[in-house]
């Protein structure tokens, strides 16, 4: 580790402490050249999840995009912020699990995971999200989705 005072790379670790959740380690160090004491932190660097889009392009997973879609679909529906946060956490957990150790997932899988979670919270929000996500471009598709929900609720 490079000393912030003299730039020497010779140091010794005096003390190491893990944070509460075990995600990082704080190390107190002392430069062997000038004696200066300083702190360094180690943190696990996770490989980002890559989303494979419909057109074949790839981009890093961004939960904020899912959040925007959920917020639009739940607008004016009296769904609490806590419920939306739980829904987002459930979607994120499902995406993490589906991406697996390869850390790759399709945008379709993310959309379907979001729909599954929305369905549990609000059928109206589910239909709103599905209308955009599944690109309902005519009334028949919209009606078919609502009838599908109605038949599954009554069964």
- Please give the C-alpha separations between residue 70 and each of 63, 65, 120, in angstroms, as whole numbers: 11, 9, 13
- Both 61 and 76 in one domain: the answer is yes
Q: Is residue 6 part of a domain?
A: no
**Torsion angles phi and psi, residue 40, rounded to 5:** -125, 160
Residue 34 DSSP label: T
Give the predicted TM-score (pTM) of the model.
Answer: 0.66
- Both 72 and 25 in one domain: the answer is no
- Both 130 and 56 in one domain: the answer is yes
Domain holding 29, by residue range, is 11-43
pLDDT of 118 higher than 90: yes
- Both 83 and 149 in one domain: the answer is yes
- Quickly tell me which residue has 């419920």 as its tokens: 83
- Both 62 and 93 in one domain: the answer is yes
Mean pLDDT across 121-144: 85
- Both 36 and 101 in one domain: the answer is no
- Both 18 and 57 in one domain: the answer is no
Number of structural domains in the chain: 2
- Both 61 and 24 in one domain: the answer is no
pLDDT tens digits for 6-40?
999 999 999 999 887 777 899 999 999 999 999 99
pLDDT tens digits for 135-153?
777 788 878 888 887 777 6
């Amino acid at each position: 580790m490079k000393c912030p005072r003299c730039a020497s790379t010779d140091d010794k670790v005096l003390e190491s402490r893990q944070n509460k959740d075990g995600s990082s380690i704080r190390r107190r160090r002392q430069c062997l050249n000038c004696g200066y004491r300083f702190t360094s932190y180690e943190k696990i660097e996770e490989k980002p999840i890559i989303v494979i889009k419909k057109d074949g392009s790839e981009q890093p997973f961004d939960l904020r995009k899912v959040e925007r879609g959920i917020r639009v679909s739940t607008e004016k529906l009296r769904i609490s912020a806590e419920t939306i946060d739980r829904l987002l956490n459930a979607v994120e957990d499902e995406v993490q699990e589906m991406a697996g150790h390869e850390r790759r997932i399709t945008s379709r899988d993310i959309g379907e995971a979001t729909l599954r979670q929305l369905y549990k919270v609000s059928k109206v929000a589910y239909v709103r999200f599905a209308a955009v996500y599944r690109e309902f471009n005519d009334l028949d598709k919209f009606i078919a989705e609502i009838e599908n929900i109605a038949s599954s609720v009554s069964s």
